[in-house]
């Protein structure tokens, strides 16, 4: 029973930790499927987290914060687009430049505005997305098994967690069931054919980047408004890159990418929860081993279980309209 | 003649600069950053108070990576700043290298002992303060478990943990204590999300009070306690005001007083090298009670804490020190 509760709690923590990865991976899906490499997920998330926390600090409204986060992230996405769609610059360089720029700018603005070493002030409860208790959760908690799953795993997350899991089917639907999605995928595989059909590849890719901006904005706002209660320097801590890895892990498809994100989140949660816990038959696991576990497993999985991932054909190739 | 006058004047100016009272102090902070609301901020508060009291400004530097430590110390020393205060045990080896290069500069370091003739080492008996908050935690939990979240897994933080467990067992011999460390690198001081997750995992396992010794990471612990409607214990600075009603108390480590003393003794020319150990007796550590946590601390808890503090000062209770005595007797 103890073990079962532990498992449920680890899964619970997995959900919380994988949300930013899932949203960022969905963001990356839009831009990469349209043919734009997006190393800049990290920077867009960080910028969104800062904008969200700043606006929420002044307005005390999580919704205003969320809107600001999405806005900031879309703006950054447009900068990326301007550099590598309009001016056909190198997409990796542009993305990396964004990451470095945002990491510096947020710290400088944070110090200038709040004088707390780059952090924003702690947000009060009403300026954040707080956990939502599902009906009957407190009552069902006492029921063994199913009650634990319901009250711990399903209930008690904040709105954005549920939103992230809704985002995956939505993205899949947009990508595979709508005209926009079809054209977007075509732009990433064979842009000339899209142009031949009389559709502007440039406009399509800009729109894909705007979608990326929205999803990255959600991910960033989650970090500073839901998971933590303030912006912290470099709080994305490589999550953008991990999301990108998960995207490649998942072969640029929404559901496999979701699973990859959940795996990364799970390993992270295990690393946190296994600390100081006595495992049956093994005893207490050394902290260092637990912390190395996610990386070891990543290497093993990458080397042994994931087959060849084939990227969209036109990925990273600036589009030049023939004259 | 004119040139001679000028030279004499310059010499006079130079000599007056060198006299006591005209020091140019500097602080180099640790990776948690100046405003971590905890350890580094305590030092800043002390230095700021010194500036307000004496009108003597100080220079400061926040390192971002380990490689900057030696550079920062050397830079300040080369510019003639004196005394230079290094905040945190991670400076120990850097200072050990730099101090001999500038024998006329007065250095001080908090939380580590550096054996050089021009270094003052200030260490605290955190185990004594942790013992007291351990008593408070066990009494507040009243039969339930309690927890501890440390920053970087180093002997210094184990010292906090050990004192805390011993204190808790002193008040309630059968209390269960969960212990977690955030990481094994300097990044462990600045990861509130992970701190929050660790605290949540302890709350989920039934902990009612969680004590953190984790710098900025601890902000996540305090937040998690407020979110889960449980209690947390702050560290280093008084953190009671951060989440009133959810911070049981704070283990005060008077780094502010230590920083002030370093600067002020240098100003009065009474600075001495060597090791200063600050415990309960010297008011170097303690626990905080103010308007924000009055309602959480019952008279019985207060009495027990004060009694234990008295016994520690008088020597009746001797708290095990992990750093000098090794392995903690309580798990």
- The residues spanned by each domain of chain B are 2-125+256-278, 126-253+283-325
Has residue A319 been placed in a domain? no
Residue A276 is predicted with a pLDDT of: 65
Has residue A318 been placed in a domain? no
Q: Report the chain A residue with the minimal C-alpha distance to residue B29.
A: A117
To the nearest whole number, what is the mean pLDDT of chain A? Answer: 88
Band (pLDDT 50/70/90 cuts) for residue A277 is low
The CATH H-level superfamily of B126-253+283-325 is Response regulator (3.40.50.2300)
Band (pLDDT 50/70/90 cuts) for residue A9 is confident
Residue B325 is predicted with a pLDDT of: 84
Averaging pLDDT over each range in A46-60, B188-202, B269-283, which range is the top one?
A: A46-60
Q: Number of helices (H) and strands (E), helices first, in chain A?
A: 13, 4
Torsion of CA B117, B119, B124, B125, to 10 degrees: -20
- By residue range, what is the domain housing residue A209? 2-124+153-304
Has residue A252 been placed in a domain? yes
Band (pLDDT 50/70/90 cuts) for residue B17 is very low
Q: Report the chain B residue with the minimal C-alpha distance to residue A131.
A: B227
Band (pLDDT 50/70/90 cuts) for residue A323 is low
The more confidently predicted of residues B166 and A146 is B166
Interface of B to A at Cβ within 8 Å reads 33-36, 62, 153, 178-181, 183-184, 190-194, 196-198, 200-201, 204-205, 216, 219-220, 223, 226-227, 242
Residue A309 is predicted with a pLDDT of: 77
Residue B193 is predicted with a pLDDT of: 85
Determine, for residues B223 and A272 on separate chains, whether the beta-carbon distance falls below 8 Å.
Answer: no
> Which pTM was predicted?
0.82
**Which of A117, A126, A224 is the best mutation test for B, with the most CBs of B within 10 A?**
A117
Has residue A323 been placed in a domain? no
CATH of the domain at A38: 1.10.3470
Determine, for residues B196 and A227 on separate chains, whether the beta-carbon distance falls below 8 Å.
Answer: yes
- CATH number of B2-125+256-278, picked from 3.30.420.40, 3.40.50.2300, 3.40.1010.20, 2.130.10.10: 3.40.50.2300
Residue B7 is predicted with a pLDDT of: 55
> What are the pLDDT digits (tens) for B89-143?
999 999 999 999 999 999 999 999 999 999 999 999 999 999 999 999 999 998 8
Residue B70 is predicted with a pLDDT of: 94
> What are the pLDDT digits (tens) for A200-225?
999 999 999 999 999 999 999 999 99
Residue B278: strand pairing partners: B124
Closest C-alpha to B284, from B120, B51, B126: B126
> What are the pLDDT digits (tens) for B223-244?
999 988 999 999 988 999 989 9
Distances B68 to A233, A263, B110 between C-alpha atoms, Å: 18, 36, 18
Band (pLDDT 50/70/90 cuts) for residue A1 is low
Residue A79 is predicted with a pLDDT of: 96
The more confidently predicted of residues A149 and A175 is A175
Closest C-alpha to B193, from A152, A277, A21: A21
DSSP per-residue codes, A24-63:
HHHHHHHHHHTT---TTHHHHHHHHHHHHHHHHHHH--HH
**Which of B180, B187, B189, B204 is the best mutation test for A, with the most CBs of A within 10 A?**
B204
Band (pLDDT 50/70/90 cuts) for residue A232 is confident
Q: Counting Cβ atoms within 10 Å, is residue A126 exposed (0-12), middle (13-18) or buried (19+)?
A: exposed
Residue A73 is predicted with a pLDDT of: 97
> What are the pLDDT digits (tens) for A125-146?
888 888 888 877 777 777 777 7
Percent of chain A at pLDDT exceeding 90? 55
Has residue A53 been placed in a domain? yes
- Domain count within chain A: 1
Has residue A227 been placed in a domain? yes
Has residue A263 been placed in a domain? yes
> What are the pLDDT digits (tens) for A38-73?
999 999 999 999 999 999 999 999 999 999 999 999
Give yes or no for residue A304 having a pLDDT over 80: no
Give yes or no for residue B76 having a pLDDT over 50: yes
Has residue A133 been placed in a domain? no
Give yes or no for residue A84 having a pLDDT over 70: yes
Nearest chain A Cα distance for residue B303, angstroms: 33
Closest C-alpha to A240, from A68, A13, A31: A31
């Amino acid at each position: 029973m103890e073990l079962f509760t532990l498992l449920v709690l680890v899964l619970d923590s997995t959900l919380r930790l994988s949300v930013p990865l899932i949203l960022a991976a969905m963001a990356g899906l839009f831009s990469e499927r349209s043919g734009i490499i997006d190393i800049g997920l990290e920077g867009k998330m960080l910028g969104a987290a800062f904008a969200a926390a700043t606006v929420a600090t002044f307005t005390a409204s999580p919704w205003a914060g969320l809107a600001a986060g999405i806005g900031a992230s879309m703006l950054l996405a447009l900068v990326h687009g301007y550099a590598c769609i309009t001016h056909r610059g190198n997409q990796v360089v542009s993305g990396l430049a964004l990451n470095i720029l945002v990491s510096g700018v947020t710290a400088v603005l944070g110090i200038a505005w709040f004088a707390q070493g780059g952090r924003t002030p702690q947000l009060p409860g009403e300026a954040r997305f707080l956990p939502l208790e599902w009906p009957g959760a407190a009552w069902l908690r006492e029921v063994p098994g199913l009650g634990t799953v319901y009250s711990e795993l399903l209930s008690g997350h904040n709105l954005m967690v549920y939103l992230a899991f809704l985002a995956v089917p939505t993205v899949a639907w947009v990508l595979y069931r709508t005209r926009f999605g079809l054209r977007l995928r075509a732009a990433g595989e064979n842009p000339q054919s899209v142009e031949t059909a009389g559709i502007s590849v440039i406009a399509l890719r800009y729109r894909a980047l705007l979608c990326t901006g929205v999803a990255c904005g959600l991910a960033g706002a989650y970090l500073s408004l839901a998971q933590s209660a303030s912006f912290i320097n470099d709080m994305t801590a490589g999550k953008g890159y991990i999301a990108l890895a998960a995207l490649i892990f998942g072969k640029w498809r929404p559901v496999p990418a979701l699973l990859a994100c959940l795996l990364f989140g799970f390993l992270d949660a295990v690393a946190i929860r296994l600390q100081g816990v006595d495992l049956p038959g093994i005893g207490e696991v050394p902290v260092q081993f637990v912390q190395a576990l996610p990386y070891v497993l990543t290497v093993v999985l990458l080397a042994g279980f994931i087959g060849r991932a084939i990227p969209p054909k036109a990925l990273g190739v600036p589009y030049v309209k023939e004259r | 003649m004119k040139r001679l006058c000028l030279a004499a004047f310059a010499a006079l100016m130079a000599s007056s600069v060198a006299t006591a009272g005209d020091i140019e102090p500097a602080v180099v902070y640790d990776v948690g950053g100046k405003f971590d609301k905890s350890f580094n901020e305590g030092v800043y508060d002390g230095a700021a108070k010194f500036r307000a009291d004496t009108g003597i400004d100080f220079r400061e530097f926040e390192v971002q990576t380990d490689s900057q430590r030696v550079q920062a110390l050397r830079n300040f020393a080369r510019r003639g700043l004196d005394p230079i205060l290094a905040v945190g045990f991670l400076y120990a080896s850097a200072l050990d290298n730099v101090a001999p290069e500038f024998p006329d500069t007065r250095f001080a370091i908090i939380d580590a002992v550096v054996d050089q003739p021009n270094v003052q080492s200030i260490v605290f008996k955190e185990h004594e303060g942790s013992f007291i908050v351990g008593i408070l935690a066990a009494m507040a939990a009243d039969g339930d478990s309690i927890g501890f979240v440390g920053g970087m897994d180093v002997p210094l933080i184990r010292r906090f943990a050990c004192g805390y467990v011993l204190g808790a067992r002193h008040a309630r011999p059968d209390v269960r204590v969960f212990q977690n460390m955030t990481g094994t690198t300097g990044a462990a001081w600045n990861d509130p999300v992970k701190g929050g997750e660790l605290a949540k995992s302890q709350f989920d396992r039934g902990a009612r009070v969680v004590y953190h010794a984790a710098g900025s990471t601890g902000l996540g612990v305090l937040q998690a306690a407020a979110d889960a409607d449980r209690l947390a214990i702050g560290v280093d600075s008084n953190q009671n005001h951060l989440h009133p009603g959810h911070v049981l108390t704070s283990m005060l480590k008077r780094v502010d007083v230590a920083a002030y003393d370093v600067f002020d003794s240098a100003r009065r020319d009474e600075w001495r090298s060597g090791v200063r150990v600050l415990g309960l007796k010297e008011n170097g550590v303690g626990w905080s009670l103010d308007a924000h946590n009055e309602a959480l601390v019952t008279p019985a808890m207060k009495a027990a804490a004060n009694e234990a503090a008295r016994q520690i000062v008088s020597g009746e209770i001797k708290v095990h020190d992990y750093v000098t005595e090794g392995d903690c007797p309580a798990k």
